[in-house]
Structure formats: C-alpha cells, structure tokens
C-alpha cells in the first residue's frame, strides 16, 4: 500500500501537534503549520519534493520568526493582576500595637499581621496609618 506524500505531511503535522501539546513549545506548532502547508502544496497543487520541503522550511521559519518574539515578550511580562503578598505591597494598614524596628501588629486587608518598621529609628503608634513596603515571610515591612 503506497501512501501519498500529502498524507505523510499530515501525519507529521499531527505528530508535531501532539508534541506541542505535551511540551508547550510554540516552535513545534509552527513546524506543524509548515507541514500542513507542505501537504497543501503536494495535495492541491501537485508540487514535487523540492517544492514541499521549500514550503515547509519557509512557512516554519517565518512562523518561528514571528511567534518566538511574541512568546518571549509574554513570558517576560509580569501579571497585570497582583495576587497573594504582591497585592498587599503598597497598601495602607492601621497600627494595632506599636510598630518599631523590633516589631508590632497592624491590620492589613482585614487581617492582623506582624509588622516591622522599615526605618529602624522610627516608631508608629496605635491608630496611625502606615504604608506596606514589603512582605518578608509573615511580617509586613511598613513606613
């Protein structure tokens, strides 16, 4: 049984698509698109082996050249919605127990947190509002 070349390209594209899903490498997706394009050149236009490989190489390379920078840019971006302790940085809190360099307590986002003053010479009294600069473990650093 002889299988046409266009079918081999589709089998290759399917294998690359499966590998893409398993590894999450966008380059494999672009190779799969190149294989589909080579299949179309073969099946629809009757292109020879040179045309098939040329279309595969051209489409795959162009796809990788376009998609890779976009994927890298998205990978390097910080999430626009801060969650966890990152969402608490920059918020205001109310001092519940005197806060100085050795410690204290604040109310932050409806919860009681241990806190420490950023400036070791500064102390904050009960009822004062402070800004959360950082979170170290379970301790808020305030000023």
Provide CB contacts within 8 A for 129, sequence distance 6+. 92, 93, 94, 95
**Low-confidence spans in the chain with pLDDT less than 70:** 1-2, 79
Residue-wise pLDDT for 86-111, tens only, equals 888 989 999 999 999 999 999 998 99
Query: How many Cβ atoms from other residues are within 10 Å of residue 10's Cβ?
Result: 19
Supply 92's token pair. Answer: 């205001």
pTM of the model: 0.54
Average pLDDT, the chain: 91
> How, if at all, do strands 92-100 and 103-108 pair?
antiparallel
């Amino acid at each position: 049984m002889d299988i046409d070349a266009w079918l081999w390209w589709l089998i290759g594209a399917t294998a690359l698509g499966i590998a893409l899903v398993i590894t999450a490498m966008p380059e494999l997706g672009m190779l799969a698109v190149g294989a589909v394009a080579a299949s179309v050149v073969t099946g629809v236009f009757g292109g020879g082996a040179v045309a098939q490989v040329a279309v595969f190489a051209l489409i795959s390379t162009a796809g990788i050249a376009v998609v890779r920078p976009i994927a890298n840019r998205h990978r390097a971006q910080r999430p626009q919605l801060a969650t966890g302790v990152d969402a608490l940085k920059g918020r205001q809190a109310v001092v519940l127990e005197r806060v100085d360099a050795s410690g204290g307590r604040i109310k932050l986002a409806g919860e009681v947190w241990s806190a420490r003053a950023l400036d070791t010479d500064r102390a904050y009294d009960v009822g004062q509002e402070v800004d959360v600069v950082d979170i170290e473990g379970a301790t808020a650093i305030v000023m």
